[in-house]
Amino acid sequence: MTEMTAPKSPISSKDFADEVREQLKYTQGVTPEQATAADVYVAASTAVRRHLMDSWMKTQQDMVNGNTKAVGYLSAEFLMGRQLRNALLNAGLTEQFNEAVKELGFDPQDVVDAEYEPGLGNGGLGRLAACFIDSLASLGVPAFGYGIQYKYGIFRQEFDEEGRQVEHPDYWLANEDPWGHVDYGRDQKVSFGGKVVEEDGKRVWQPDWSVRAIPVDYMVPGYESGRVNTLRLWQARSYDEFDLLAFNKSEYMEAVEPQVKAENISKILYPEDSTQVGKELRLEQQYFFTCASIHDAIRVFYPGEDKPDLTTFPDKITFQLNDTHPVIGIPELMRVLIDEYGYDWDTAWTITNKTFNYTCHTLLPEALEVWPADLIGKLLPRHLEIIEKINDQFMAELKTLTKDEAKIERMRIVTGGDKPAVRMAYLATYAGSHVNGVAELHSQLLKDVTLRDFSDLYDSKFTNVTNGVTPRRFVKLANPGLSDLITEGLGTDKWLEDLDLLEGLVPLAQDDEFVKKFAEVKHQNKVSFSNFAKKEYGYDVDPNTMFNTMIKRLHEYKRQSLKILEVIAQYADIKSGKVKIEDVTPRTIIFGAKSAPGYYMAKLTIQLINNVARVINNDPDIKGKLNIIFPVNYNIRVAQNLIPATELDEQISQAGKEASGTSNMKFALNGALTVGTLDGANVEIRARVGADNFFLFGMTVDEVEAMYANGYNPAKYYESDPRLKAAIDMVAGGTFSNGDRNTYAPLVSDWLTKDWFMTLADFTAYHDIQSQIETLYADQLEWNRKALLNTANSGYFSSDRSIEDYLERVWMTGPLK
Ligand SMILES: *Cc1c(COP(=O)(O)O)cnc(C)c1O
């Protein structure tokens, strides 16, 4: 590898400064004196991109010349975060950049801060895709990330005066995007609608309308691998942009109608789908990017060939379906093979079957996508025929495997009845080679519950790949202090490529001097976060309090309610004198969360948290012992600032609901202790860091199931735990709504009568663990020893390890030679 790994770039900071000056002049058209930090950001990014160009081209060449199969990671989301620092790190240009920018008279941080974070994802699933393409490149595996370049990413969150979430469009492309290269020459045509006719005994799709898919390419540089992969995000454009005739008749709206219709496809992430048109738009998006990506892969791997031998396609690329969003790619590949290239059904089936694999990300049955057959028929009539034929073939196959008619009926891909629908997860499970869950517990539950019939009959398809996170972004970039200390402790920085090396820190946990250094790093990170919180949000945060964090999408199953109810109960204890203020461990409690715009209960929970913060933070009786902050617009940047400063992180979902979680991994790696349930990857984290170094509480999956089965009555818990009762009564009584009893009535009523995720049932256990937490926290040396053991034992949760598992268990491929 050595001659390939150019990263510790030989270029001097002087030369790099010259390159930035050149870009300022030739791309920005400004002198260094005229330049703003934003200009320098664009110029430096362009310069870095140029440095990556040779490796990018070579990686593509080597991939096409093919000594190994590539990975196509199909995902509706890629939550990349800012690019500049990551690209500098992976290109080995960090020092040069810092020096060069100073020489030009700028603060490197200001230049980095000029980058606007793209929000092309919602949460964990999108961040996972970003971590995976980083790891693929770092391991030298040729890969494409394929997705959509949404014009507006996830909404920008604001809070109004009442503490309610307000959504604003996030027009990230209003700023220059030096990382994305729009490649008009490599566009693809994506068609919709129309009908299927019979011609010479063949089924021929005559679509009604088409859009142009234009690729925008982002380089994905590997860390010290000399490899640069591609993230190819598609943008939708119209072929007939503009109706001049209509315009000249002053019909201005009509004139741009085709343009609007086409461009709507890549307008926003997850359009609201409670309406028929919203559903239609989502399916259009899914087909749009999978169709373009499949055609793109054929173009890339069979360049210039009119009659490629596509029986070799599965040897060229393997497609990973990140959840069900890209599953429409399965009938699309069948259609391409049969209708466009003339293969017979069985050959097409063999190719398709070998090409696709599916990752399931949920256990909630309502989260598995199901499309009404008539909607598919309207947008993609030929695909519906193919899906029906797959279903017929499947039903026939099942009859040879089992006599259990009820089971066969349950497994239908296309449901029966007069409103048939297509179950995308079933289609993916049957049509692909492998299905994986994303943590051991989750994969087991997939087999036992969600896809049980399938695992009975197709057990060998099922496997587990526990999620991971990239240590480059989430340790090295986010936490430079800890990174230096790890390197000092291990005597090498090789851990960034082989995170298992962190185990070498285990003996150092017995070295009090080292533990104190570790504690000092944490303290410095808390100071840094306090400064960040002041500058960005105006918060006053005391770095001498315990930093206790809960950041993740707002969802009832994740149980932000449990946390806020405990905070309220603690407040009530202080107010009533049950707990003396001097006995309270001072905490800064930090929330970060966006709620889906149409998710009423989640939005109400956000409002409650904001108002609990308002009341408690302003209550003189609390004497600053509890400080609750809720930095608005949680995103990767906030995560990178907050995670290294956190001492206690909350992973308190109802057992059996969180598929994996990845923030739990980021926290453990950065030396936070977790308070959590036995859910998702928490189980594996606890097993690795040690039960003594993890605050476990709450019901297990089996206990949850038993409680559902026996009938769950939340009011019983309200009656039997006076602290819980006091907290809920405070919410109901208007303490956090200026006396108004209606504001939170829907939440209160849900807690007392339904509480599907059993927040109340776990409340007492959650409270009981707090005293253990506080006792340990009082002994800072012991706390930090355990925190260090979290870091030392979390190397397994590198996304490099996840990718290695995929290579071995699912993709059957490896790095380029
Ligand atoms: C890691 C990450 C997530 C996933 O968090 P979970 O707590 O695992 O759901 C979501 N959003 C951002 C910005 C992240 O960095």
How many Å apart are CA 117 and CA 120, to the nearest integer?
Answer: 9
Query: Where in 538-677 does DSSP place strands (E)?
Result: 546-551, 587-592, 626-629, 648-651, 673-676
How many Å apart are CA 532 and CA 297, to the nearest integer?
Answer: 43
Based on the residue annotation, tell me whether 553 is a catalytic residue of this protein.
yes
How many Å apart are CA 291 and CA 277, to the nearest integer?
Answer: 21
Question: What pLDDT is recorded for position 251?
Answer: 86
Confidence at 270, pLDDT banded by 50, 70, 90: confident
The predicted-structure confidence for 779-799, as pLDDT tens digits, reads as follows: 999 999 999 999 999 999 999
Question: What pLDDT is recorded for position 9?
Answer: 57
Q: Give residue 726's identity as a one-letter amino acid code.
A: A
Cβ 359 vs Cβ 438: under 8 Å: yes
Ligand 1 neighbours (beta carbon < 6 A): 123-124, 127, 552, 635-636, 639, 661-663, 666
Shared domain for 70 and 54, answered yes or no, is no
Choose the catalytic residue: 227, 282, 383, 558: 558
Q: What string of DSSP letters covers 665-720? A: HHHHHTT-EEEE-S-TTHHHHHHHH-GGGSEE-S--HHHHHHHHHH---HHHHHHH
How many Å apart are CA 82 and CA 473, to the nearest integer?
Answer: 10
Cβ 206 vs Cβ 383: under 8 Å: no
Q: Give residue 270's identity as a one-letter amino acid code.
A: Y
Q: Give residue 356's identity as a one-letter amino acid code.
A: F
Q: What's the CA-to-centroid distance between 653 and ligand 1, angstroms?
A: 14
Average pLDDT for the chain: 96
Nearest CA to ligand 1 atom 3: 124
Of 313, 383, 306, nearest to 354 by C-alpha is 313
Nearest CA to ligand 1 atom 8: 661
Q: Give residue 263's identity as a one-letter amino acid code.
A: E
Based on the residue annotation, tell me whether 534 is a catalytic residue of this protein.
no
Residue 571's φ and ψ, nearest 5 degrees, are -60, -45
**268 assigned to some structural domain:** yes
How large a percentage of the chain has pLDDT more than 70?
Answer: 99
The predicted-structure confidence for 569-581, as pLDDT tens digits, reads as follows: 999 999 999 999 9
Based on the residue annotation, tell me whether 227 is a catalytic residue of this protein.
no
The predicted-structure confidence for 319-335, as pLDDT tens digits, reads as follows: 999 999 999 999 999 99
The predicted-structure confidence for 380-422, as pLDDT tens digits, reads as follows: 999 999 999 999 999 999 999 999 999 999 999 999 899 999 9
Q: What string of DSSP letters covers 749-806? A: HHHHHT-TT-HHHHHHHHHHHHHHHHHHHHSHHHHHHHHHHHHHT-GGGBHHHHHHHH
Shared domain for 482 and 396, answered yes or no, is no
Confidence at 258, pLDDT banded by 50, 70, 90: confident
Three-state DSSP at 77 gives: coil
Shared domain for 45 and 109, answered yes or no, is yes
Q: What's the CA-to-centroid distance between 54 and ligand 1, angstroms?
A: 33
Shared domain for 640 and 766, answered yes or no, is yes
Residue 210's φ and ψ, nearest 5 degrees, are -140, 155
**674 assigned to some structural domain:** yes
Pair of tokens at residue 478: 């986010």
Shared domain for 482 and 443, answered yes or no, is no
Shared domain for 336 and 438, answered yes or no, is yes
Nearest CA to ligand 1 atom 2: 124
The predicted-structure confidence for 587-628, as pLDDT tens digits, reads as follows: 999 999 999 999 999 999 999 999 999 999 999 999 899 999
What number of helices (H) and strands (E) belong to the chain? 34, 22
**399 assigned to some structural domain:** yes
Q: What's the CA-to-centroid distance between 67 and ligand 1, angstroms?
A: 36
> Best of 134, 632, 662, 677 to mutate for ligand 1, by most ligand atoms within 8 A of CB?
662
Shared domain for 20 and 71, answered yes or no, is no
Query: Measured from the CA of 124, which atom of ligand 1 is nearest?
Result: 4
Q: What is the Cα gyration radius of the chain?
A: 27
Question: What pLDDT is recorded for position 476?
Answer: 98
**816 assigned to some structural domain:** no
Total Cβ atoms within 10 A of residue 641: 19
Nearest CA to ligand 1 atom 11: 123
Choose the catalytic residue: 552, 555, 637, 688: 552
Residues 6+ apart with CB under 8 A from 317: 69, 70, 71, 72, 144, 297, 301, 355
Three-state DSSP at 46 gives: helix
Question: What pLDDT is recorded for position 7?
Answer: 44
Q: What's the CA-to-centroid distance between 305 and ligand 1, angstroms?
A: 43
Residue with tokens 């089965």: 709
Residue 257's φ and ψ, nearest 5 degrees, are -55, -50
Shared domain for 679 and 560, answered yes or no, is yes
Question: What pLDDT is recorded for position 261?
Answer: 87
**747 assigned to some structural domain:** yes
| N- to C-terminal Cα separation, the chain | 9
Shared domain for 522 and 647, answered yes or no, is yes
Residues 6+ apart with CB under 8 A from 756: 556
Cβ 73 vs Cβ 129: under 8 Å: yes
Q: What's the CA-to-centroid distance between 201 and ligand 1, angstroms?
A: 52
Query: Measured from the CA of 551, which atom of ligand 1 is nearest?
Result: 7
Residues 6+ apart with CB under 8 A from 485: 517, 518, 521
Query: Measured from the CA of 474, which atom of ligand 1 is nearest?
Result: 15
Shared domain for 580 and 484, answered yes or no, is yes
Based on the residue annotation, tell me whether 552 is a catalytic residue of this protein.
yes
Nearest CA to ligand 1 atom 9: 552
pTM of the model: 0.97
Choose the catalytic residue: 232, 361, 442, 461: 361
**817 assigned to some structural domain:** no
Confidence at 716, pLDDT banded by 50, 70, 90: very high
Q: What's the CA-to-centroid distance between 745 and ligand 1, angstroms?
A: 30
**526 assigned to some structural domain:** yes
Of 424, 408, 232, nearest to 330 by C-alpha is 424
Q: Where are the alpha helices (DSSP H) in 402-474?
A: 405-410, 424-431, 440-445, 452-457, 471
| Domain of 525, in residue numbers | 471-797
Q: What's the CA-to-centroid distance between 123 and ligand 1, angstroms?
A: 5
Nearest CA to ligand 1 atom 15: 636
**658 assigned to some structural domain:** yes
Residue 434 zone, left/alpha/beta (φ > 0; ψ -120 to 50; rest): beta
Of 783, 134, 177, 153, nearest to 475 by C-alpha is 134
Cβ 784 vs Cβ 522: under 8 Å: yes
Choose the catalytic residue: 227, 442, 517, 553: 553
> Best of 552, 553, 595 to mutate for ligand 1, by most ligand atoms within 8 A of CB?
552
Q: Give residue 208's identity as a one-letter amino acid code.
A: D
Q: What is the CATH number of the domain that holds 168?
A: 3.40.50.2000
Nearest CA to ligand 1 atom 1: 663
How many Å apart are CA 264 and CA 281, to the nearest integer?
Answer: 8
Q: Is beta strand 370-372 parallel, antiparallel or unpaired with respect to 421-423?
A: antiparallel
Confidence at 363, pLDDT banded by 50, 70, 90: confident
Confidence at 256, pLDDT banded by 50, 70, 90: confident
Question: What pLDDT is recorded for position 6?
Answer: 42
Based on the residue annotation, tell me whether 558 is a catalytic residue of this protein.
yes
More confident site: 257 or 222: 222
Number of compact structural domains in the chain: 3
Shared domain for 29 and 167, answered yes or no, is no
Cβ 670 vs Cβ 528: under 8 Å: no
Q: What's the CA-to-centroid distance between 124 and ligand 1, angstroms?
A: 4
Position 761 pLDDT exceeds 80:
yes
3-state helix, strand, coil in the chain (%, to 5): 55, 15, 30
Shared domain for 109 and 131, answered yes or no, is no
Q: What's the CA-to-centroid distance between 464 and ligand 1, angstroms?
A: 20
Residues 6+ apart with CB under 8 A from 448: 455
Q: Give residue 675's identity as a one-letter amino acid code.
A: V
Query: Measured from the CA of 640, which atom of ligand 1 is nearest?
Result: 15
Q: Give residue 93's identity as a one-letter amino acid code.
A: L
Residue with tokens 């036995």: 678
> Best of 551, 650, 664 to mutate for ligand 1, by most ligand atoms within 8 A of CB?
551
> Best of 132, 663, 684 to mutate for ligand 1, by most ligand atoms within 8 A of CB?
663
Nearest CA to ligand 1 atom 4: 124
β-partners of residue 70 are 317
The angle, 0 to 180 degrees and rounded to 10, between the axes of the packed helices 759-778 and 560-575 is 60
Q: What's the CA-to-centroid distance between 518 and ligand 1, angstroms?
A: 25
